[in-house]
A and B are shown apart, each in its own frame.
Chain A
């Protein structure tokens, strides 16, 4: 009886795990376009050689997201050369939050010397497409036929204040994908400042 129960719960656990993974990781994403701080429209389909993208939902004001500026520059410096560029997206509601305006995004890029596009998701549509809940949250998407598949979702790494002690989740995922391997850790917890979506 005991072992039957155990089997039942094991199956239940596995199905729940698979179900929850299906709903987030292995999701397909279509191409999208957003405005960069320099006014240029950036589209995923304009990167003809891109194997994938590191998509990071971030914002101006979130103290925890602010810790990652240098690490985002480092990720882009390393992986854009390997055709996996980084795109940072701000989906915060700029009507409600005074620190999230396009003007202040521009200033942030200048101050922090971002070497990657910082895109404003003014309609919050791309944030909703990904289901991003917090800043910072990272997604690694990979090209498969005519669409992008989410291969990793979660934190950039596991230590905001001490990068030297951190396990670099995003970098590990991209490294594995570049070696045509499956991503070992495809999902980690996402946390930070909550992104509130406007109701229609």
Chain B
């Protein structure tokens, strides 16, 4: 009897303690408009509740970055200042934009430099994100916490009766996991022992008793999350990565892989005063899904492997004014790409280097996952994709592990996975597709096909990337690249003169204007270096008519290096900044 009482006391104390241990979830700040100032920096934050602060990377704040609200049709300008003490890049994940603005491994931003890409937003309303993409350093910089969400609004989504009060009934959730050292510092490892939801350990959040929209990003280095609620309730998926689905799709679990986003609706109407947990049901994952393995030791061993664990404890409170209380029955009408219009089927392979010996292909070493039997090289272009091509990409994987495959530039439609059409929740616009691993060494190769149209942005110099979105795999070389070409790019065998241009006024104190001698010529890239040779400003395809703002430059001598659009040749001029 005594023993039973003691156990009961122990259990109740544990429950009380467990409840007391929740931390209120942080919600990223927001920025909206058409000009965004993003200051990437080394910083620190109290993530573990006691003891030392954790060294982090933050954009404007001290972990992660602001959520950017942008409108379809707007031209958005980004002023990205790299104040990290390492080179970085910022990739606009899911955005359809010129390759030179894309922020992949080729668009590096040295420390102390401001990079100013801009583009016309033509993505559909959905949740996107931005993150570092420096080759071999992506895992390191994402681990620090550098990144942020992008929320695109458009007329279709705005007309729907959906929750739209950020942080109230429209809640961003960035899922990741981390390992902490004994001094509370992040360890750069593929799997963490601790779940971090919006940078918060053991997160809890209060939501009103109405329909809640969660915008969920899998921002993990490697792990997939099999999302569901502790009471088994149904929820509705309303977006795939790149836009609304035709109609909400009711599910009780949704498996989200690294890099993917999903928006869901969950109805909490009439539940004031109750609580429910959003969980990852990862005990249900197959062994080839990241997080479904259960390594007893070694670099991949972790406390969350093959287990169910909490993502967010939800306390349901008082309803707000004008709540959304039902789900819409339809959302949009997606016109998906027709495979009859594809002009090519590109066949790609995913393999384990040690297990994929083909004649003439060397072993790349054990444990390297590769695309097309080779490791990524910055100077090797896998494909030339003609501008406006509609293409089917067929990925055949003999890997024993599953890989979330991401392609830049486009949103695509999944055609089939092993011949089976995608489930309704995936039958929209996507930019990441999970390529399953084969089961056992003699298992059947897995085949995934998607279709995409490569329109708008040709560039003979800067490529787009395709890669596994598990940052460890990507850093290890599981990546390739393609150039989108049109008839006027890639001109060969003609004389390429250096661009002729003048700059004025010189000296200057506010703006510097560039005038091309050839009226039809335009600038592909302008870089401004100071007298020491340090790059201060990087301007992909600047609008020369506006002039270049140098009003914040200290007085001194500067060098302007211009690359022209047509021939990609460069020339430089020197100018002086006076006070």
- Mask: chain B, 223-261; 1 = CB below 8 Å from A; 0 = not: 000000000000000000000000000000000000000
The answer to whether the Cβ of A21 comes within 8 Å of any Cβ in the partner chain is: no
Contact check, B55 vs A64: say whether CB atoms are below 8 A apart.
yes
Q: Specify the chain B residue showing the minimal Cβ separation from A62.
A: B42
Interface residues in B93-146 by Cβ distance below 8 A to A read 110-112
The answer to whether the Cβ of A63 comes within 8 Å of any Cβ in the partner chain is: yes
> In whole Å, how far is A137's beta carbon from the nearest beta carbon of chain B?
12
Q: Which stretch of A11-19, A50-58, A190-198 is in the interface?
A: A190-198
Contact check, A97 vs B85: say whether CB atoms are below 8 A apart.
yes
Contact check, A159 vs B52: say whether CB atoms are below 8 A apart.
yes
Tell me the complex Cα distance, A196–B181, Å: 22
Tell me the complex Cα distance, A166–B376, Å: 46
Given contacts A98-B112, A194-B85, contact A63 B44 (CB under 8 A): yes
Q: Specify the chain B residue showing the minimal Cβ separation from A92.
A: B85
Interface of A is mostly: loop
A155 neighbours in B (Cβ, 8 Å)? 52, 183
Partner of A96, one of B41, B43, B51, B110: B110
Question: Size class of A's contact patch?
Answer: 20 to 34
Q: Specify the chain A residue showing the minimal Cβ separation from B533.
A: A95
The answer to whether the Cβ of A73 comes within 8 Å of any Cβ in the partner chain is: no
> In whole Å, how far is A9's beta carbon from the nearest beta carbon of chain B?
12
Partner of B52, one of A61, A99, A160, A194: A160
The answer to whether the Cβ of B346 comes within 8 Å of any Cβ in the partner chain is: no
Given contacts A63-B43, A160-B53, contact A95 B534 (CB under 8 A): yes
The answer to whether the Cβ of A188 comes within 8 Å of any Cβ in the partner chain is: yes
The answer to whether the Cβ of A144 comes within 8 Å of any Cβ in the partner chain is: no
> In whole Å, how far is A136's beta carbon from the nearest beta carbon of chain B?
11
B570 neighbours in A (Cβ, 8 Å)? none
Contact check, A98 vs B534: say whether CB atoms are below 8 A apart.
yes
B52 neighbours in A (Cβ, 8 Å)? 155, 158-160
The answer to whether the Cβ of A161 comes within 8 Å of any Cβ in the partner chain is: yes
B111 neighbours in A (Cβ, 8 Å)? 96-97
Tell me the complex Cα distance, A95–B44, Å: 25
Tell me the complex Cα distance, A155–B181, Å: 13
Contact check, A61 vs B83: say whether CB atoms are below 8 A apart.
yes
Contact check, B55 vs A192: say whether CB atoms are below 8 A apart.
yes
Given contacts A63-B41, A160-B52, contact A196 B85 (CB under 8 A): yes
B110 neighbours in A (Cβ, 8 Å)? 96
Tell me the complex Cα distance, A188–B55, Å: 15
B43 neighbours in A (Cβ, 8 Å)? 63-64
> In whole Å, how far is B130's beta carbon from the nearest beta carbon of chain A?
22
10 smallest beta-carbon distances between A and B, as pairs: A189-B183, A98-B112, A191-B185, A64-B44, A63-B43, A193-B42, A160-B53, A191-B55, A193-B85, A158-B52
Q: Which A residues contact B (CB, under 8 angstroms)?
A: 61-64, 92, 95-99, 155, 158-161, 188-189, 191-194, 196
Taking A64-B42, A158-B183 as given, write out 4 further A-B residue pairs in contact, using a Cβ cutoff of 8 Å, ordered by the A residue number.
A64-B55, A95-B534, A191-B181, A196-B85
Could you list 12 A-B pairs, sorted by A, with CB under 8 Å? A62-B42, A96-B112, A97-B85, A155-B52, A159-B51, A159-B52, A160-B44, A189-B185, A194-B85, A194-B86, A196-B85, A196-B86
